[in-house]
């Protein structure tokens, strides 16, 4: 490997990390350096902007320790057979870089991943050493997200949780067949085994914390995973099913969906075109339906077409409502919250506002219009004091009436 200076390494290793989407930093414990103790804070932009569910934007130094790898995953630009320029940081270089960026107020934390160098254990040791040194040698209190190597020694993976706020173990592809075809050196049972161990360790850490206030935190922001969408033949239905299984079995905080992007010198087994970005967006919407709107995975799957794909032109909640019109209209003045959450066009905040307001007075269509972006989308599905959709809910052309209009943008529009 040619001798590179820190700036050159940073350019290569930050660029190589951009393919990883799973860096939102929601839900960690609060830690700060007010009072002159330590460096950094987990509260609070810069290199990689991650958005937490509460809308907070935080910045992370998002890099790889190295983009050299002994594995040859077909979808990865850093695979052994890829013809990219390679670089490698030492653990101490990453520590110094993180502290320097933090002190200049460029970042609020670190997102660190790595190609596999020498062996999985050796790589995991290096990743853990970065986090350990930041916490123990420098009392760094900022956010740390470590990507772990599933086939590394479980004790090493566990050590990651002692220092990191969040750990993630990527399942990579939605199906075992996809993983076998595109990442033959990886093993689905090993990945799931590591997730299961991590779940156990996180629960144990929480338990200890309840019993002994002084017990150390263990991965307080939990574990997450990422799957690549569009690199294999998995349908949206397969992906929804897989995601819900992962949430149930491993208590994940988040599943991230990353639309496959064609890479230079791509392997011939990969598609030449990336899937539409809207597909990724629809999968995130379906994920939210399961996590925040009370939809069961089978119900989200019902929104898909016979080929198992979610529509791209309308969101999955609207697609479900159009298929199950006998569940509507819903009376916003009387229906329980779980039915209000089924109404297309009403988000969780709008539903909360409706539930609050109706305690004091009966709601009209204008009242509902005030809490939604598009009352036209909501109208066919609700009853208010002054509105009843009568036959509108059952109209054959309802989809055309409520689907968002796609407009040709004018090149010189103001
Ligand atoms: S192990 Fe990770 S870095 Fe290495 S080729 Fe596979 S996905 Fe890329």
- Digit-coded pLDDT (tens) for 108-149: 899 999 999 999 999 999 999 999 999 999 999 999 999 999
Given a cut of 50, whether residue 412 has pLDDT beyond it is no
* pLDDT-based confidence at residue 233 (cuts at 50, 70, 90): very high
Q: Which of 46-50, 180-184, 256-260 is least confident? A: 46-50
* pLDDT-based confidence at residue 302 (cuts at 50, 70, 90): very high
Ligand 1 centre distance from Cα of residue 402 (Å): 43
So what's the pLDDT on residue 390? 85
* pLDDT-based confidence at residue 35 (cuts at 50, 70, 90): low
Beta partners for residue 303, in sequence order = none
What is the rounded average pLDDT of the residues 362-367? 97
Within 142-294, residue ranges assigned H as helices are: 154-163, 176-182, 188-211, 236-250, 277-292
Residue 42 backbone dihedrals phi, psi, to 5 degrees: -90, 0
Instruction: Kindly state if the Cβ of 173 falls inside 6 Å of ligand 1.
Output: no
Ligand 1 centre distance from Cα of residue 294 (Å): 35
What is the rounded average pLDDT of the residues 14-23? 75
Ligand 1 centre distance from Cα of residue 75 (Å): 9
What is the value of pTM for the model shown?
A: 0.86
pLDDT in tens, 370-380: 999 989 999 99
* pLDDT-based confidence at residue 314 (cuts at 50, 70, 90): very high
How far is the C-alpha of 139 from the C-alpha of 95, rounded, in Å? 12
Q: What 3-state DSSP class applies to 175?
A: coil
- Vertex 392: Cα angle to 386 and 398 (nearest 5): 135
So what's the pLDDT on residue 43? 45
**For a substitution probing ligand 1, which of 21, 69, 74 has the most ligand atoms within 8 Å of its CB?**
69
* pLDDT-based confidence at residue 15 (cuts at 50, 70, 90): confident
Instruction: Kindly state if the Cβ of 231 falls inside 6 Å of ligand 1.
Output: no
Ligand 1 centre distance from Cα of residue 90 (Å): 19
Instruction: Kindly state if the Cβ of 179 falls inside 6 Å of ligand 1.
Output: no
Ligand 1 centre distance from Cα of residue 80 (Å): 8
Pairing of strands 109-113, 57-64: parallel
Q: Which of 13-17, 49-53, 144-148, 245-249 is least confident? A: 49-53
Question: Could you check whether the bond before residue 329 is cis, i.e. omega within 30 degrees of 0?
Answer: yes
Ligand 1 centre distance from Cα of residue 71 (Å): 6
Q: Characterize 289-328 residue by residue with b for buried, 16 or more Cβ atoms within 10 angstroms of its Cβ, and e for exposed.
A: bbbebebebebbbebbeeeeebbeebbbbbbbbbeeeeeb
Ligand 1 centre distance from Cα of residue 224 (Å): 17
**For a substitution probing ligand 1, which of 116, 117, 124 has the most ligand atoms within 8 Å of its CB?**
116
Task: Please give the number of the atom of ligand 1 that sits closest to the Cα of 78.
Answer: 8
Tell me what percent of the residues of the chain surpass a pLDDT of 70: 88
Instruction: Kindly state if the Cβ of 78 falls inside 6 Å of ligand 1.
Output: yes
Tell the residue number behind the tokens 């986090």, with chain if given: 131
How far is the C-alpha of 188 from the C-alpha of 397, rounded, in Å? 45
So what's the pLDDT on residue 46? 33
Task: Give the residue whose CA is nearest to atom 6 of ligand 1.
Answer: 73
**For a substitution probing ligand 1, which of 12, 13, 65, 78 has the most ligand atoms within 8 Å of its CB?**
78
So what's the pLDDT on residue 45? 33
Given a cut of 80, whether residue 406 has pLDDT beyond it is no
Given a cut of 90, whether residue 281 has pLDDT beyond it is yes
Q: Which two tokens stand for residue 210?
A: 């309840």
Ligand 1 centre distance from Cα of residue 115 (Å): 5
Across the chain, mean pLDDT equals 88
Instruction: Kindly state if the Cβ of 12 falls inside 6 Å of ligand 1.
Output: no
């Amino acid at each position: 490997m040619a001798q590179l200076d820190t700036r050159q390494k940073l350019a290569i290793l930050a660029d190589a990390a951009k393919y990883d989407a799973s860096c939102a930093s929601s839900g960690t414990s609060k830690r700060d350096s007010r009072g002159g103790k330590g460096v950094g804070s987990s509260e609070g932009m810069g290199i990689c902007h991650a958005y937490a569910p509460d809308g907070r934007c935080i910045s992370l130094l998002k890099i790889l320790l190295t983009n050299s790898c002994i594995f040859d995953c077909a979808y990865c630009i850093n695979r052994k057979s890829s013809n990219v320029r390679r670089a490698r940081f030492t653990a101490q270089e990453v520590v110094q870089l993180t502290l320097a960026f933090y002190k200049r107020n460029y970042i609020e934390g670190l997102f660190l991943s790595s190609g596999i160098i020498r062996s999985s254990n050796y790589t995991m040791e290096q990743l853990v050493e970065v986090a350990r040194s930041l916490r123990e040698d420098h009392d760094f209190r900022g956010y740390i997200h470590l990507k772990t190597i599933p086939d590394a020694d479980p004790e090493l993976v566990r050590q990651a949780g002692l220092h990191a706020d969040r750990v993630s173990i990527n399942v990579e592809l939605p199906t075992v067949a996809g993983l076998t075809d595109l990442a033959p050196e990886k093993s689905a049972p090993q990945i799931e085994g590591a997730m299961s161990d991590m779940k156990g360790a996180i629960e144990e850490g929480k338990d200890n914390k309840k019993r002994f206030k002084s017990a150390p935190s263990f991965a307080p922001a939990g574990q997450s995973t990422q799957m690549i969408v569009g690199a294999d033949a998995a349908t949206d239905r397969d992906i929804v099913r897989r995601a819900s299984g992962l949430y149930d079995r491993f208590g994940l905080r988040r599943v991230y969906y990353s639309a496959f992007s064609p890479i230079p010198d791509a392997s011939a087994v990969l598609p030449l075109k990336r899937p539409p970005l809207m597909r990724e967006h629809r999968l995130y919407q379906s994920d939210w339906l399961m996590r925040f709107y009370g939809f069961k995975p089978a119900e989200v799957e019902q929104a898909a077409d016979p080929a198992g794909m979610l529509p791209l032109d309308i969101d999955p909640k609207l697609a479900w409502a159009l298929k199950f019109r006998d569940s509507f209209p819903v009376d916003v003045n009387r229906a329980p919250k779980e039915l209000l959450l089924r109404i297309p066009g009403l988000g969780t905040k709008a539903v909360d506002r409706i539930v609050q307001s109706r305690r004091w007075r009966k709601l009209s269509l204008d009242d509902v219009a005030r809490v939604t972006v598009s009352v036209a989308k909501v109208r066919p599905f609700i009853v208010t004091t002054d509105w009843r959709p009568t036959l509108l809910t059952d109209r054959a052309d309802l989809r055309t009436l409520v689907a968002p209009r796609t407009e040709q943008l004018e090149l010189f529009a103001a």
